[in-house]
Structure 1
Amino acid sequence: MTTHLRPPPATAEPDIDAREPIGLLLRDLRSVPGGLTSREAARRLQAYGPNELPHKGGRQWPLALLRQLVHPLALLLWVAAGLAWFAGTTNLAIAIVGVIILNGLLAFFQEQQAERAVEALGKYLPERSAVLRDGLVAHLESAELVRGDIVLLAEGDRVPADARLIEGTVDVDASMLTGESAPVTRTADAADDADRALDSPVLVFSGTVCVAGSARAVVHATGRRTEIGRIASLSARIGREESPLERQVRRVAWLIAGVAVVVGVGFLPLGVAAGLSWSAAFVFAIGLLVANVPEGLLPTITLALAAGVRSMAKAGALVKRLSAVETLGSTTVICTDKTGTLTQNSMRVEELRGPDGAESAHPRETAAVLARCSTADVAGGSGDPTELALLRFADDHGQNVTTSAREAARKALYPFDPRLKRMSTVDLVDGGLVVAVKGAPEQVLPLCSTELGGAELTADRRARLSALVDSMAGRALRVLAVARRDAPAIPGSRAEAEDGLCLLGFVGLVDPPRPEVADAVADCHSAGITVHVVTGDNGLTAAEIARRVGIGADRVVDGAALARMPEPDLDSVLVGGDEVVFSRAAPEDKLRIADALRDCGEVVAMTGDGVNDAPALRRADIGVAMGVGGTDVAKEAATVVLTDDNFATIVAGVREGRRVFDNVRKFVLYIFAHAVPEVLPFLLFAISGGAIPLPLTVLQILAIDLGTETLPALALGREPAEPGLMARRPRSRREGVVTGRMLLRAWGIMGVLSAVLVLGAYFAVLYAAGWHPGADVSDSSPLHHAYLQATTASFAAIVFCQIGTAFAARTERVSLRAIGLGTNKLLLGGIAFELLFAAALIYLPWLQDVFGTAALPAWVYAVLVPMPVLVWGADELFRLLTRRS
């Protein structure tokens, strides 16, 4: 595609009805059947711009990156870095800044994927097109097309712009716009009585593909004014919203920041009032700030989500935004496409019925007609999918379906006519001429005088045959009638060839469901997830496919009815408890459905594979695109791409997302539980007016938050799923990461108990050395070494309490025995590292100097060892009591 053309100017093209009579349309477009002149085309290109899709203006990336560096959790980490720098631990401060920058860059690059969704639409425009200019055929770059150009379309061509046929007939694969799996026929002189432009039999649209036939068409819309351009504009206007987890983490971050600032600043006067000097009170305030800032929370969440991304990739789902893992886990409604998502996007013969309604006893006769009456090439895979399915059926019944054999026997061909809805051939078979006919039953039945076996078709028989056709159509089958007759000579006309036929039976075709979808839908239902079908296909077909895979399909709403439906009625349909099939859905319809569900408080996952799905994929909480059969546009617009196009992978993603969110809660609980034993010593110091020396130093708190705490927290992010994970209802959109129950466990049970144990160890060491309140523990005092041992005991006690907290945090409600003590090997390794890290801080001389620690007396470990069991046991008892209640 050219890049030297000017961008589209602001000049607006006048509105024109592309469906008006050809003569009037050419007049309004100021064009003629021979095409525009080169000079006029150049003028229009200058006035109205090239045939290109809209491109979003370049982002100011420094500002976009800066936004990622001032996220609330990032601000907390900046505070932690500043405090670490102030405390003199330069290396620690640099490490925290590195974490901030790494997370910011990761989020920034993830955000860029939204920009590529619109750009991918450009791949659906052909680079060059055959155009009539100055009365001659010219092959021009498609970007140079303008309104009024006459384009030539042939089999295999991609339509370069929205156009009205003025001559010829083509079969068009429009699935990327309409969602229908079967190609549609467009012919220049068809009667246009369609309800919407997409279904017009005389219009073709940019980006669709001609699979058969040839035609001439006049361009009536280019670039952003085409149907695909309108979709591009819809996609460009839809920004990415925060995921539920991002919103909740932001709230938690501001909550933590507020608490830290209020506690730190608010208790500063308390320390002075209690007798502390301003410098000591300032140290006290810094300690409270550090104790309330969970420096490891952001990297822990990021790494937990990254682990979820890796797990989902192994299951066949590529996640393009980390938070999408959790969003999928909180999904309450899945809006799925039909073609290629629930189905295999390949037609096959499902039923063959004889005129008596029973399974045909003479399939070979029908298969022979289908083998001859075709123009598709089953070996090369070219042709209409329905034709190919019929040829495969004929091949399965022993017929020669090669193109060479068919052409050698053919004496006449009457191709498929969209108005007559049938096709006929005259072939030489065993020395005699045979007419073979297939087509719509309502068109073929009136031409039949007898049925297989020789019985005459009476009025009563015709009524029963019509009822049979209706019955097959009611099962979502595409029904074709098959007939034949012997001919003494080559007929002189189509009408003569198709007269006095013998009805062989009816063929029912279906685009079959994927075999694994039914189990996946059942899993969705057990997880409390509602599944709606939103498709551009026929409502009866979609409803039957939905029922086959277990989707309720309690109600079918077509596009016209949806357009007339007021918002309150749509809301009641969507959240009324029924599963709904929305058929003939336009891109705006999918957007409207996604918006309505979100307004009703649902978390929406929208699946799709076509260009027409892109806006809705962007608008939904999570867009899920098909990686194999999906378009590049859908893949770019989506946040999750299924590499195997398997609906069941969505369910695996839901399970993984729920597990990830549960694990986020587990390590938030784990981190929060240590705030109380870290804060309470500073309050005791302040309230006592300094009579009780600080039981814990700022650097020791940092060593806990960024050292001993980190690996166990990360290990909790890899915790296996709890029993019954997929048997519970999805959580509410308003339900946060932090709940009252979590705070009760973290602060009220494990936090308070840990604080009591920590202070007990601290005072035990001090009193054993002869300390009393108000005694001097400064560097020059005899009690200074005992004071170092006492703060070290506080530090070690928090570490030992962390072990109990880690095991308690592994489950939300069930007992630890239900999941197994050693099922999380990473946690065991993290605890081992935690103990080694603590031992290094306590016993290595150079670390003793940095963190103010000292080797502990042996008897202290007798106090420390029971602490994990006590902390875990208290929470285990709480969970036992709440399970019983």
Structure 2
Amino acid sequence: MSQPVTGLAPDGVSTVNPQESIDRLLRDLRTRRTGLSDREATRRLVVFGPNELARRRGTTWPRDLLAQLIHPLALLLWLAGLLAALSGTTALAVAIVVVILVNALFAFIQERHAERAVEALSAYLPLTVRVVRDGTPKPVEARELVPGDVIMIEEGERIPADARLLSGSVELDLSTLTGESLPLLREAEPFDTHGPILQARDLVFSGTSCTEGEATAVVFNTGMHTELGRIAALSQQVGHEDSPLEKQVKHVARLIALVAVGMGAAFIPIGTLVAGLSLGDAVNFAIGLLVANVPEGLLPTITLALAVGVRILARQGVLVKRISAVETLGSTSVICTDKTGTLTLNRMRVTRVWTPERVLDPVAPSAGDVTPPAATRMSRAVVACNNAELDPAQPDQEHGDPTELALLHMAASLGVDPATRPEDRLAQFHFDPALRRMSTVDRQGGLVRVHTKGAPEELLTLCTRVAGPGGDDRPLGDVDRELFDEMVTTWAEEGLRLLAVAERTVDEAELTSLTRELAERDLTLLGVAAMIDPPRPEVPDAVARCHSAGIRLIVVTGDHGLTAQGIAEAVGIGHAGLRIVTGADLERMPEAELDERLASGEELIFARSSPEDKMRIADALQDQGHVVAMTGDGVNDAPALRRADIGVAMGRSGTDVAREAATMVLTDDNFASIVAAVEAGRRVYDNVRKFIVYIFAHATPEVVPFLVYALSGGRIPLPLTVMQILAIDLGTETLPALALGRERAEPGLMARPPRERTQNVIDVPMLARAWGLLGGVSAVLVLAVFLVTLLSGGWQLGDDVSSGPLHHVWQQATTMSFLGIVACQIGTAMAARTQHASLRQVGVLSNHLLLWGIAYEVAFAAALVTVAPLQSVFGTAVPELWQVLFVLPFPVVVWGVDELWRWSTRRRMPGARTGARTGARTAGPA
């Protein structure tokens, strides 16, 4: 139905309906066909404002930067820095502050890059436009246009505002608004005013392009009141939500803070009342307990792991604009993909040619094959009825509509030179989307011919004859029509786009009164070209990998449903059922029915989709708990790209608007790159979990000694000092943790379903493994070496070790506790490399960075216990040989216990073993 367009209204100028009669529209706009006066235009400019897209004022940069500095994990680092300063290690405190600032600045810069979609929209508005003012055409700046202005539109120009045609006709590229790839005819004639405003045949819209023709039009909406402005407003209204990892990290930070502060506070009464410590000593030990619980290296390790993921994806042609999005990719459960250029090559080509004699293959013609006369006539007709330009010597210099270029290539393959155009084009009847055909009237070889191409079902009704095998024509009978209809139906079901070609000869006398209706009648059917935009060769394998990974695929396109269905089925989409939902169907569909359709699990095609449709689909899927990746390339896709969890824009064919609104940009426009990005995201998420296990596992052997000391009432001395804990957390621990962030993909990575949106990055089984299994074994080993060292030096329960000969023994014992934790770290690092598979499947020596990290860890620990200045700072002493030999098996013991646990887990889950074997074949290199 007719849709009124609302907007600001200066005095006397009412809100208008652009689809009402032209006289009524001019009256409502208080203008004339000769345009406004300069004085009136100036007055309206004050009321309506400039014809430009306004940006909503956002948060200021200091506030954005502050938000990064008070992130929950950043607050933990501030706490760690404060504790380091209180413990007298100023250098470590300064280093922690530097890490906080660098991380905050990096994240701040990444976020700022994603906030420029509206500025990019402005690139779609021309700088100047020809306007009729005071009855005289004159150039003015596009930003000075107002409703009521009469503008002049010419070929190659961008439309500066929404307007109603007054005279002339133009072909309009509406792809930026509708996703429709073919130019559409717009004419200044009265038409039926029912239907969506974007389909009105006498309206033109801001930001679109005139590909052919000339016209004058009266402006009825400018700036943010245009269709382009409406999209800009939608894009601004869609805010940014935290990624799953960002939410998880905040949750983890609160958990860690609660545990650290709680244990530290609990130690003060325990230390004073049970252990008999002074209040000052109890507070110092509480600080040590807090330091032991705070994972100082967690935030920089996560940030750097995500940054590594960004760099890896960049090398694969995927540019990620928000660093946390790398992890979101790994949890993607639904990919809503466009068709053209993403699943396909975006290169239309003719794959079959039907002629009344036989079907030809223009792609790979048989050797010695003679082109039938009807095929030659058909090739000459498509060369004549064509506005594209093809230079066979320079394929990169092609210009024109992809469909017409494909027809020229077909003609060349059938032996007709595409450059051989008729001597004179006498008339052209533009492609009409309602009639679904285009015709030209050409003087060719001394004769005047009408050449027509269009939809087969439309063209067949205009044909009375069909080309014969000898070059002569014969009547088109009922049997011919039945066979023709059967062929068209069969080919259309295969997803081929069909164009029929016909011609007829006219007398010179007919030219003076030749209308379209008279020209396009009594035609002779020459043949049918079947075209397809071929699927990318790598897409079927990528689709299969999505299915094995439990990722559902939904095609959301502006193209026709049958065409999309053919491509989808060709690449393997729809293995569990495929249904087409048109834009009109979706518009009538209530929310409950849409939810039911999306919850069915079948893969869908949403054809002829609008921007609101894409947003509605994304919202519905997200409400059902899915993590949604949405592809797009046009201006109309910007709101949906921002609304989806992962907006994926096309780097080659996409608009600046789409690229700015998206989270991720594909430099090769390839669907397979999305799947590679999902795999990389899963790998990054797994690696984040791996180094969290690694870091958390060391909290147990660091905390347990404090508890043993407190529970023994101080009769067992403290096995670690605060400085030794800091040396572990910020010294020996960091590089191996970073190396785990580069771990290769675990076998079976893309053979398991995506995780739930609500799944925590830290869960109970993970904590049980880190704190209980790995940490518990490490704590037992560390306490064992500590007590054995004390007892071998003559210590007995309750002896004072603060002075005298036992003080050196205690220093050696704490040194062995420190070295014991370092040794256990090595075993934990090797064990944490895999969550399910055995280390042999991953490769014991495959992570070279981890090996270097372990070498650094050993060298750093050796320096702390042998270099005199460091001994005095960290309270260490040179161990004896038997003590070093005591801790050498620790890595194997820790790793071996975990390996046995994973082996028993795999035995209880036979499906995991199958998945691991399957995934081992697809695991990529590190």
1:33-63 deviation line (CA, Å, top 9, x unaligned):
1111111111111001111112121532222
| Aligned equivalent of 1:396, options 413, 420, 431 | 413
Paired residue for 1:309?
Answer: 310
Paired residue for 2:497?
Answer: 478
Opposite residue 137 of structure 1, the aligned amino acid is P
Paired residue for 2:758?
Answer: 734
Paired residue for 1:456?
Answer: 475
Give the TM-score normalised by structure 2: 0.91
Q: Is the 8 A contact 2:148 2:219 kept in 1?
A: yes
Q: Secondary structure at the match of 1:383?
A: coil
CA deviation after TM superposition for structure 1 residue 204, in Å: 1.4
Q: Compared with structure 1, are the counterparts of its residues 598 and 10 closer, same or farther at alpha carbon in structure 2 (3 Å cutoff)? A: farther
Paired residue for 2:366?
Answer: none
Range with greater deviation from structure 2 (50-59 or 590-599): 50-59
Range with greater deviation from structure 2 (389-398 or 128-137): 389-398
Q: Secondary structure at the match of 2:116?
A: helix
1:225-251 deviation line (CA, Å, top 9, x unaligned):
111111111111111111111111111
CA deviation after TM superposition for structure 1 residue 855, in Å: 0.7
Q: Compared with structure 1, are the counterparts of its residues 431 and 151 closer, same or farther at alpha carbon in structure 2 (3 Å cutoff)? A: closer
Q: Is the 8 A contact 1:36 1:148 kept in 2?
A: yes
Structure 2 CA distance for aligned equivalents of residues 681 and 631 of structure 1: 60
Q: Secondary structure at the match of 1:606?
A: strand
Structure 2 CA distance for aligned equivalents of residues 17 and 355 of structure 1: 50
1:406-436 deviation line (CA, Å, top 9, x unaligned):
25x2262233252655444454544554443
Paired residue for 1:550?
Answer: 572
Matched, 1:269 2:287: no
CA deviation after TM superposition for structure 1 residue 194, in Å: 5.6
Range with greater deviation from structure 2 (467-476 or 134-143): 467-476
Q: Secondary structure at the match of 1:783?
A: helix
Paired residue for 2:295?
Answer: 294
Q: Is the 8 A contact 2:693 2:766 kept in 1?
A: yes
Q: Is the 8 A contact 1:276 1:686 kept in 2?
A: no
Q: Is the 8 A contact 1:340 1:609 kept in 2?
A: no
Q: Is the 8 A contact 2:176 2:208 kept in 1?
A: yes
Opposite residue 590 of structure 1, the aligned amino acid is K
Q: Compared with structure 1, are the counterparts of its residues 716 and 520 closer, same or farther at alpha carbon in structure 2 (3 Å cutoff)? A: same
Q: Compared with structure 1, are the counterparts of its residues 384 and 190 closer, same or farther at alpha carbon in structure 2 (3 Å cutoff)? A: farther
Matches within 5 A, 1:167-206: 167-189=167-189, 191-192=191-192, 195-206=195-206
1:678-713 deviation line (CA, Å, top 9, x unaligned):
001111111222222211011110100000000001
Q: Which runs of 5+ in 1 are unaligned?
A: 1-7
Paired residue for 1:41?
Answer: 41
Structure 2 CA distance for aligned equivalents of residues 217 and 192 of structure 1: 18
Q: Compared with structure 1, are the counterparts of its residues 442 and 677 closer, same or farther at alpha carbon in structure 2 (3 Å cutoff)? A: closer
Structure 1 CA distance for aligned equivalents of residues 460 and 873 of structure 2: 95
Matches within 5 A, 1:187-586: 187-189=187-189, 191-192=191-192, 195-274=195-274, 275-355=276-356, 358-359=359-360, 361=372, 362-379=374-391, 381-402=398-419, 405-406=420-421, 409-410=423-424, 412-416=426-430, 418=432, 421-453=436-468, 454-459=473-478, 461-487=480-506, 489=508, 491-492=510-511, 493-494=513-514, 497-552=519-574, 554-586=578-610
CA deviation after TM superposition for structure 1 residue 491, in Å: 3.5
Opposite residue 242 of structure 1, the aligned amino acid is D
Opposite residue 850 of structure 1, the aligned amino acid is V
Structure 1 CA distance for aligned equivalents of residues 144 and 640 of structure 2: 30
Paired residue for 1:815?
Answer: 838
Q: Is the 8 A contact 1:433 1:490 kept in 2?
A: no
Range with greater deviation from structure 2 (11-20 or 47-56): 11-20
Q: Compared with structure 1, are the counterparts of its residues 198 and 427 closer, same or farther at alpha carbon in structure 2 (3 Å cutoff)? A: closer
CA deviation after TM superposition for structure 1 residue 187, in Å: 1.4
Q: Which runs of 5+ in 2 are unaligned?
A: 1-6, 362-371, 392-396, 909-926
Paired residue for 2:816?
Answer: 793
Opposite residue 836 of structure 1, the aligned amino acid is A
Opposite residue 388 of structure 1, the aligned amino acid is L
Paired residue for 1:116?
Answer: 116
Range with greater deviation from structure 2 (220-229 or 107-116): 107-116
Paired residue for 1:663?
Answer: 687
Paired residue for 2:777?
Answer: 753
Structure 2 CA distance for aligned equivalents of residues 190 and 536 of structure 1: 27
Q: Is the 8 A contact 1:355 1:465 kept in 2?
A: no
Q: Secondary structure at the match of 1:406?
A: coil
Structure 1 CA distance for aligned equivalents of residues 596 and 438 of structure 2: 46
CA deviation after TM superposition for structure 1 residue 559, in Å: 1.8
Structure 2 CA distance for aligned equivalents of residues 411 and 277 of structure 1: 104
Q: Is the 8 A contact 2:424 2:444 kept in 1?
A: no
Structure 2 CA distance for aligned equivalents of residues 321 and 795 of structure 1: 39
Range with greater deviation from structure 2 (867-876 or 733-742): 733-742
1:571-615 deviation line (CA, Å, top 9, x unaligned):
121121101111222111111111111110001111111111111
CA deviation after TM superposition for structure 1 residue 503, in Å: 1.4
Q: Is the 8 A contact 1:114 1:240 kept in 2?
A: no
CA deviation after TM superposition for structure 1 residue 177, in Å: 1.2
Q: Is the 8 A contact 2:375 2:414 kept in 1?
A: yes
Q: Compared with structure 1, are the counterparts of its residues 594 and 20 closer, same or farther at alpha carbon in structure 2 (3 Å cutoff)? A: same
Range with greater deviation from structure 2 (414-423 or 17-26): 414-423
CA deviation after TM superposition for structure 1 residue 731, in Å: 0.8
1:818-864 deviation line (CA, Å, top 9, x unaligned):
11110000010000000000001101111111111111111101210
Structure 2 CA distance for aligned equivalents of residues 420 and 784 of structure 1: 99
Structure 2 CA distance for aligned equivalents of residues 505 and 835 of structure 1: 78
Q: Secondary structure at the match of 1:139?
A: strand
1:774-800 deviation line (CA, Å, top 9, x unaligned):
22222x422111111111110000000
Matched, 1:74 2:74: yes
Structure 2 CA distance for aligned equivalents of residues 174 and 585 of structure 1: 13
Paired residue for 2:57?
Answer: 57
Opposite residue 280 of structure 2, the aligned amino acid is S
CA deviation after TM superposition for structure 1 residue 750, in Å: 1.3
Q: Secondary structure at the match of 1:114?
A: coil
Q: Is the 8 A contact 1:179 1:339 kept in 2?
A: no
Q: Secondary structure at the match of 2:115?
A: helix
Structure 2 CA distance for aligned equivalents of residues 853 and 425 of structure 1: 94
Q: Is the 8 A contact 1:56 1:115 kept in 2?
A: no
Range with greater deviation from structure 2 (242-251 or 533-542): 533-542
Paired residue for 2:795?
Answer: 771
Opposite residue 117 of structure 2, the aligned amino acid is A
| Aligned equivalent of 1:627, options 630, 634, 651 | 651
1:802-828 deviation line (CA, Å, top 9, x unaligned):
011011101111111111110000010
Aligned pairs, number = 874
Structure 1 CA distance for aligned equivalents of residues 320 and 454 of structure 2: 45
Q: Is the 8 A contact 1:842 1:855 kept in 2?
A: yes
Opposite residue 415 of structure 1, the aligned amino acid is F
Q: Secondary structure at the match of 1:455?
A: strand
* Percentage of matched positions with identical amino acids: 58
Q: Pairwise CA RMSD of aligned residues?
A: 2.0
Opposite residue 233 of structure 1, the aligned amino acid is A
CA deviation after TM superposition for structure 1 residue 384, in Å: 3.0
Structure 2 CA distance for aligned equivalents of residues 730 and 182 of structure 1: 38
Structure 2 CA distance for aligned equivalents of residues 705 and 784 of structure 1: 25
Range with greater deviation from structure 2 (122-131 or 378-387): 378-387
CA deviation after TM superposition for structure 1 residue 373, in Å: 2.2
CA deviation after TM superposition for structure 1 residue 184, in Å: 1.5
Q: Compared with structure 1, are the counterparts of its residues 673 and 494 closer, same or farther at alpha carbon in structure 2 (3 Å cutoff)? A: same
Q: Is the 8 A contact 2:375 2:527 kept in 1?
A: no
